[in-house]
Amino acid sequence: MSSELHIYNTHKREKEKFEPLNAPHVGLYVCGPTVYSEPHIGNVRTFSSFDVIYRYLVHLGYKVRYVRNITDAGHLTNAAGEGVNRMESAAKLESLEPMEVVQKYTTNFHDIMNLFNAKPPSIEPTATGHIIEQIEMIEKLIENGFAYEVEGSVYFDVTSYNKKYPYGELSGRKIEDLVAGYRDLDGQDEKRNTIDFALWKKASPEHIMQWRSPWGMGFPGWHLECSVMSTKYLGQSFDIHGGGMDLKFPHHECEIAQNKGTYNEGGARYWMHTNMLNFNGQKMSKSLGNAILPMEFVTGTHELLDKGYHPSVIRLLFLQTHYSSELDINIKGLQDAEKAWKKLFESKGHLASLVGSAKTPTETSGKISALCKGCTDNMNDDFNSAKTLANLFELSGIINSLKGGQTTLDQVQVSDIELLTTTFNNFLLDIFGLQEPQQASSNDKLDDVMNVIISLRKQARDNKDWATSDKIRDELQAAGIQIKDGKDGEVSFSVD
Ligand code: AMP
Ligand code: ZN
């Protein structure tokens, strides 16, 4: 546990103290979606993880430029960067223009991110908006001897690069193993080596998305856009680059190679990889056919779900597991997360009524302040939201026992309640991005309204205005609300 932020850098394979290049500014790049179909709940996990990382960096006071791209040039389906253009397949299937597909699914992606209360990035650049910059990077790579042209396509020359820089440094893969592991793939005949990857592909005349280049009409390789857009907006060396674990190889490995081959610098100094969401033990993915759409979770329309769950319940479920661990989703987990969500907000709701009853400020209670500080320490320990939540649950237990009278308020100071209020507001709302359960907020309102009515009734009784006090009781009774007068003058109410 630490009072300074430490990040597990997947490039170095160790946790490191986070030292931004130009504090208080931080550059954060996250690989965005390929907008050829709706994101599934696994994609939402990855983007929610980075949303919390972004929110926490902002909470710490950093001025974060958060860049998350939109892959709209249609990236290629296989690891070598060859095969069919996914954007075009979807366009043909739906009889839409490629840019119509892009627009449709970009809007859909934004809607889903909004639904899940994720903050928008500072810049959301598109691959098709950066074709010129991609061509320029390819030209530099050819000039530096790390790329070659064949028949209108350009490939990255992994062998020549590996003589100067270690290819495989991020994923830990060895070039010999990679060569041996490759099967015969489309376009292999024109490449110098099986592991070379496409920077630019020649387009056949019927190919819809194509651009003019020094090598003829064609389209860029997928890995290139992230090298170009991250360095354009954040600099040749910047702070954090993130993405799902499945992008580490080849996508991020190729990005580092492209960056070093062009600028002699690898781009990001801290690499962060979030782990996969599994369903029934299998990675959720469109190609495996086990993808559940976010809206199916919210409406409960998927056959594997018992009912719909609020997006905050799903966010909370994600947060209960560290971002770098796999998460297997199931109904029991969702039900527990729903209870936990309600409990946390119920406790948060009690704080307003406790603050008036606590003692005047002196020292804060050791336990409460230690648990509150622990929330920050846990987040500083590589954004450990799971441990932070454990602290919040413990604090929630303390709040509930204060509210219920099991713990007396003389043991707690006003400053304790204020610290609890700040901690719950910061972590639940600002950092974890959770929304209040509807039920709880309307209950809170009912509490407030009832407190006003009860005090009016007390006033009437103190004035021996029995007619008014009885009228209030009878009319509330007719509305299904029972008022009970306790022995000690305490008045409580219950709803039928
Ligand atoms: P894509 O649109 O397929 O490029 O994916 C967008 C992001 O979602 C990438 O960072 C992927 O690594 C991530 N991703 C894909 N499948 C999953 C999954 N099952 N669980 C978590 N993240 C995923
Ligand atoms: Zn990327």
- The yes-or-no verdict on residue 150 having pLDDT over 90 is yes
Quick count: other Cβ atoms within 10 Å of Cβ 133? 18
- CB-based contacts of 355: which residues, under 8 Å, 6+ apart? 414, 417, 418, 421
The pLDDT tens digits for 202-258 are 998 877 789 999 999 999 999 999 999 999 999 999 999 999 999 999 999 999 999
Share above pLDDT 90 across residues of the chain, in percent, rounded to a whole number: 65
Closest-lying ligand to the alpha carbon of 245?
Answer: 1
User: What is the pLDDT, as a whole number, of residue 328?
Assistant: 94
- Ligand 2 is an ion; its neighbours by CB within 5 Å are 31, 226
The pLDDT tens digits for 36-93 are 899 999 999 999 999 999 999 999 999 999 999 999 986 444 334 445 677 777 766 6
DSSP string, 48-78: HHHHHHHHHHHHTT-EEEEEE-BB-S--BSS
Span of 148-157, 260-269, 459-468 with lowest mean pLDDT = 459-468
Q: Whose CA is nearest to atom 12 of ligand 1?
A: 244
- Return d(Cα 263, Cα 319) in angstroms, integer: 37
Mutation choice for ligand 1 from 43, 72, 75, CB with most ligand atoms inside 8 A: 43
Common-topology check for domains 6-274 and 278-439: no
> Could you tell me which of 203, 271, 259, 201 has the C-alpha nearest to residue 232?
259
Which atom of ligand 1 is found nearest the CA of 75?
4
Q: How are strands ordered across the β-sheet holding 218-220?
A: 147-150, 153-156, 197-202, 218-220
- Return d(Cα 491, Cα 29) in angstroms, integer: 56
> Could you tell me which of 108, 24, 34, 116 has the C-alpha nearest to residue 68?
34
- Helix (H), strand (E) at residue 478: helix 466-478
Q: 5, exposed or middle or buried, with CB in 10 Å at 0-12, 13-18, 19+?
A: buried
User: What is the pLDDT, as a whole number, of residue 410?
Assistant: 66
What is the reported pTM? 0.85
DSSP string, 365-422: PHHHHHHHHHHHHHHHBT--HHHHHHHHHHHHHHHHHHHHTSS-GGGSBHHHHHHHHH
Q: Whose CA is nearest to atom 2 of ligand 1?
A: 33
User: What is the pLDDT, as a whole number, of residue 177?
Assistant: 81
Question: 43: CA distance to ligand 1 center in Å?
Answer: 4
- Mean pLDDT, range 329-350, rounded to an integer: 95
- The yes-or-no verdict on residue 483 having pLDDT over 90 is no
Closest-lying ligand to the alpha carbon of 40?
Answer: 1
Kindly indicate the confidence band of residue 401, based on its pLDDT and cuts at 50, 70 and 90.
Answer: confident
Q: What are the tokens at 369?
A: 């302040």
Asked if the 6-274 domain carries CATH number 3.40.50.620, the reply is yes
278-439 CATH: 1.10.730.10
Domain boundaries, the chain: 6-274, 278-439, 455-495
